[in-house]
Amino acid sequence: MQILKPIRQRFRTVLEKLLDDPALVESSLERIVPSRDPSLADYQANIAMPLQKVLGKPPLEIAQSVVSGLDLSDICQSVSIAGAGYINLRLSPSWLAAQLEAAYRDEHLAVTKVDAPKTIVIDYSSPNVAKPMHVGHIRSTVIGAAIAHVLRFLGHKVITDNHLGDWGTQFGMIIYGYKNFCDQEAYKKHPVAELSRIYRKVQAISGYQESLAQTPKLEQAVEFARKRVEQVQTKLAAAPADKKIAKELATAERQVTTAIEELQSNHKKIEESQQDTLLMAESDTHPAIYEKVLAETAALHHGDIGNLKLWNEFLPNCRQEIDTIYRRLNVQFDHWYGESFYHEMLGAVVEDLFAKNLAVQSDGALCVFLDGFDSPMIVRKQDGAYLYATTDIATAMFREREFSPDISLYVVDHRQSDHFKKLFAVLEKIGLGHTDFRHISFGTVMGTDGKPFKTRSGSTVGLESMLDEAVARAMEVVCNPERLTGVGIQMEDQEKEQIAQVVGLGAIKYADLAHNRTSDYVFDMDKMVRLEGNTSAYIQYSYARIRSILRKAQEKGYDPSGWADSSLQLTEPSELALALHLVRFEEMLHQSMQEYTPNLITEYLYDLAKLFSSFYDQCSVLSASNANEVSSRLKLSSVVAKTLRVGLDLLGIGVVERM
RNA sequence: GGGCUCAUAGCUCAGUUGGAUAGAGCAACGGAUUUCUAAUCCGUAGGUCGUAGGUUCGAAUCCUACUGGGCCUGCCA
């Protein structure tokens, strides 16, 4: 269902006669857009005003000459000129009805496949196995999966790859922990749980020791910041009117506060750890644990047979844990090329960079220096170990060989944007510039305290329990007996459970997708699971109501094949508003993929649900004035239901037949 | 020090890439219900789009400066 394309085509023939410059024709065509104010128009062409200088005529006159040459009679019921020279288009009901007929008959809602499909690699989710997954990972997972679905739906060749962190220091932790803290009985019984316990144990000891080591540095930082304040104060005393110095003072004072806060939270962490006598004893017997962890990691990387054997043994167990999450979230990947997959290629990659003079020795490390960046991209550390930057280069090279993508998307939070800028610059230098590499960054997941969630702080919310809670809350709200009796629905526990799953998990995904991708995202369970306003539950509820009407219609003797043959009559304002919104589905999907912003999809679906509620309130379907009208409205409702279902499905959110 | 990013209604957020009178939800207030499922609908109120300039037919959107947050900034990812 394309609206703008045929309309623009008509404008093109007129504009080409009017304008000599083809570029001007194109830019004018792009000014034909959906109207912001539905009371004025459905679509508007803002082309006359910018042309007034080019053509040397008043905009109203230009608009007039465009309109007089324009034939849109089959698509629009009116074409008018208003205001400063806006050309307002109102679509005709019969044209809308014809479009909806097509959508009604097609499982893909008559969405056309793109003319030139692109090969698109999407790297998303990419958690570190062994480290417990936390709320931060869900955003990459949910956004990435949605983008992949939509691009595929539009006809692109999409390849999804979960770039698992399966080769890093966390395995050193588990290996060290396994060798020193493992309860073999527990490990045999529940390997996943025991490995997770071991990991947390080593993490705790290492964290405590690091805090201790940090203390003098933090104290120094406070001291330093205070001295700086004094310095600036004397400077300001000498020149009290200088605004720059006053600002400098404010900055310096803030730095003191931050430094003190950091020191205090460090103290707090230490004190908390010291309450744990077992932890203290273990810390004593395992001094400098982090160095030992790094040694285990290095041994693994250098092919130590024992560690490699352990790694091979642990990995499936760690995978199992995240697989459970993916199964619950219903997220799949085409490939799971984790970091370990690239391990053997790294040496060659670095040598190649060195041979091409891109990488140079600096302070014992091998670095790629880039124009416009203060700091280089380090591809090999002093100790000879490789870094994520190295792996990322190898990964891009591998993907080029394997898939030769036109577009390569990395769905990773915005804190890594510097890293990706450098990475893309390097990739360009090594000859991958033909691929459109894009960092699909998203806002940090914040706690309710307004501070970023951090894995290292320890107190992360487990993803499993978070999902469980969402489901439980959905159960309370949707399936409470009082409500179900009120709306006259009886159901078995099994159906209730299924509804709670769909609604609860949908709520979490929807909350993640509904925010502008680039904004920071405050994780607030209360808000996520609230089932009113702009939430998935409201949309799912609209769907369930439509399904209920369709069922009732059949009980009343209206057969689906009967309303399929009937013609759509769009007369009431709420019907027309609904129809207009429905035919924009394809346009909206393209819009949302232009900058990869799924929130345009949630917004569309929410608006659609609202428009349906309004229609539902104003136009009775089953009690319409005659059988034709009933059939027409059943058909319209069917298209709404299908659009809601397909739209939610693209976001990875399900629907239920009743709720 | 350098760089990136954000600031919109009391709160949470949109804002179609520069278009007409800046929009939703929540909260508040008023109305609608013998319901095709009221998790609803209709209405009222709420704004110097952080501040000051600039660019032009036209700015929340673009450029500059300023204010205030967040993030990154050579061997973690």
Residues A135 and A188 in one domain: no
Residues A332 and A373 in one domain: yes
Planar angle of CA A602, A607, A613, nearest 5 degrees:
130
Residues A518 and A590 in one domain: yes
Residues A621 and A512 in one domain: yes
Residue A413 DSSP SS3: strand
Sign of the Cα torsion A286, A288, A292, A293 reads positive
Find the DSSP H helices in A286-410: 289-301, 305-329, 339-342, 346-355, 388-403
Shortest-distance nucleotide from A455 CA to C1': B77
pLDDT of residue A529: 74
Residue A165 identity: G
Q: Is residue A298 part of a domain?
A: no
Distance of alpha carbon A168 from alpha carbon A128, whole angstroms: 8
User: In this structure, are residues A598 and A147 in contact, taking their beta carbons and an 8 Å threshold?
Assistant: yes
Compute the CA torsion angle A349, A354, A357, A361 (nearest 10 deg): 130
Domain end marker among A91, A106, A136: A91
Q: Provide the number of structural domains found in chain A.
A: 4
Q: Is A431 left (phi over 0), alpha (psi -120 to 50) or beta?
A: left
Stated in angstroms, how far is A14 CA from B58 C1'? 25
Residue A467 identity: L
Q: Is A235 left (phi over 0), alpha (psi -120 to 50) or beta?
A: alpha
- Cross-strand pairs, A335: A161
Copy the structure tokens of residue A433: 């510039």
Q: Which residues lie closer than 8 Å to A532 by C-beta, 6 or more apart? A: A538
Residues A642 and A588 in one domain: yes
Q: Spell out a b/e string for A561-600, using b for 16 or more CB atoms within 10 Å of the CB, else e.
A: ebbeebebbbeeebbbbbbbbbbbbbbbbeebbeebbbbb
What's phi and psi for A399, nearest 5 deg? -65, -35
Stated in angstroms, how far is A49 CA from B63 C1'? 22
Sign of the Cα torsion A339, A340, A341, A347 reads positive
Shortest-distance nucleotide from A591 CA to C1': B16
pLDDT of residue A456: 33
- Give the other-Cβ count within 10 Å of A113's Cβ: 10
Closest listed residue to residue A30, CA positions, set A16, A46, A18:
A46
Shortest-distance nucleotide from A634 CA to C1': B36
Q: Is residue A299 part of a domain?
A: no
Distance of alpha carbon A308 from alpha carbon A177, whole angstroms: 15
Residues A612 and A557 in one domain: yes
User: In this structure, are residues A266 and A457 in contact, taking their beta carbons and an 8 Å threshold?
Assistant: no
DSSP calls for A70-114? ---TTTEEEEEEETTTEEEEEE-HHHHHHHHHHHHH-TTTTPPPP
Residues A477 and A614 in one domain: yes
Q: Is residue A105 part of a domain?
A: no
Q: Is A110 left (phi over 0), alpha (psi -120 to 50) or beta?
A: left
Residue nearest B69, CA–C1′ metric: A450
Closest listed residue to residue A169, CA positions, set A210, A134, A211, A199:
A199
Stated in angstroms, how far is A50 CA from B53 C1'? 25
Nucleotides of B under 7 A from a protein CB: 1-6, 12-17, 19-20, 23-26, 36-42, 57-58, 66-77
ipTM of the modeled complex:
0.96
pLDDT of residue A455: 37
Residue nearest B58, CA–C1′ metric: A49
Copy the structure tokens of residue A77: 């019921």
User: In this structure, are residues A427 and A396 in contact, taking their beta carbons and an 8 Å threshold?
Assistant: yes
Copy the structure tokens of residue A276: 């744990």
pLDDT of residue A218: 85
Compute the CA torsion angle A593, A597, A600, A602 (nearest 10 deg): 110
Q: Which residue has the tokens 């082309």?
A: A47
Q: Which residues lie closer than 8 Å to A637 by C-beta, 6 or more apart? A: A546, A549, A550, A612, A621
Domain end marker among A413, A431, A457: A457
> How confident is chain A (659 residues) per 10-residue block, as mean pLDDT?
92 92 92 91 94 90 94 94 93 96 95 96 92 82 97 98 92 94 94 89 91 86 83 80 74 80 84 92 93 92 93 92 92 96 95 94 94 92 91 97 97 93 95 95 74 48 82 90 85 93 94 90 73 89 96 92 91 94 96 95 96 95 92 96 97 96
Q: Is residue A309 part of a domain?
A: no
**Sheet arrangement for strand A377-380:** A359-362, A365-368, A377-380
User: In this structure, are residues A570 and A99 in contact, taking their beta carbons and an 8 Å threshold?
Assistant: no
Q: Could you give the count of Cα atoms lying within 13 Å of A263 in the half-sphere of its Cβ?
A: 16
Q: Which residues lie closer than 8 Å to A512 by C-beta, 6 or more apart? A: A138, A139, A142, A143, A521
Q: Is A648 buried (19+), middle (13-18) or exposed (0-12) by CB count in 10 A?
A: buried
Stated in angstroms, how far is A412 CA from B4 C1'? 15
In angstroms, the first-to-last Cα distance of chain A is 31
Shortest-distance nucleotide from A362 CA to C1': B74
Residue nearest B77, CA–C1′ metric: A388
**Sheet arrangement for strand A43-45:** A32-34, A43-45, A86-91, A76-82
Stated in angstroms, how far is A70 CA from B17 C1'? 27
Shortest-distance nucleotide from A165 CA to C1': B77
- Cross-strand pairs, A123: A161, A410
Q: Is residue A276 part of a domain?
A: yes
Domain end marker among A406, A425, A457: A457
Residues A451 and A467 in one domain: no
Stated in angstroms, how far is A482 CA from B30 C1'? 29
pLDDT of residue A432: 95
Stated in angstroms, how far is A585 CA from B14 C1'? 18
Question: Domain of A83?
Answer: 4-91
Residues A533 and A384 in one domain: no
Q: Is residue A591 part of a domain?
A: yes
- Give the other-Cβ count within 10 Å of A513's Cβ: 24
Distance of alpha carbon A548 from alpha carbon A555, whole angstroms: 11
CATH number, domain containing residue A360: 3.40.50.620
Find the DSSP H helices in A164-190: 169-181, 184-189
pLDDT of residue A262: 81
Q: Is residue A514 part of a domain?
A: yes
Residues A45 and A155 in one domain: no
Shortest-distance nucleotide from A599 CA to C1': B14
User: In this structure, are residues A460 and A453 in contact, taking their beta carbons and an 8 Å threshold?
Assistant: yes
Q: Is A490 buried (19+), middle (13-18) or exposed (0-12) by CB count in 10 A?
A: exposed
Strand segments, DSSP code E, in A443-557 are 445-446, 521-522
Distance of alpha carbon A214 from alpha carbon A75, whole angstroms: 70
Q: Is residue A37 part of a domain?
A: yes
Residues A583 and A623 in one domain: yes
Sign of the Cα torsion A601, A603, A604, A609 reads positive
Stated in angstroms, how far is A639 CA from B74 C1'? 57
Residues A486 and A441 in one domain: no
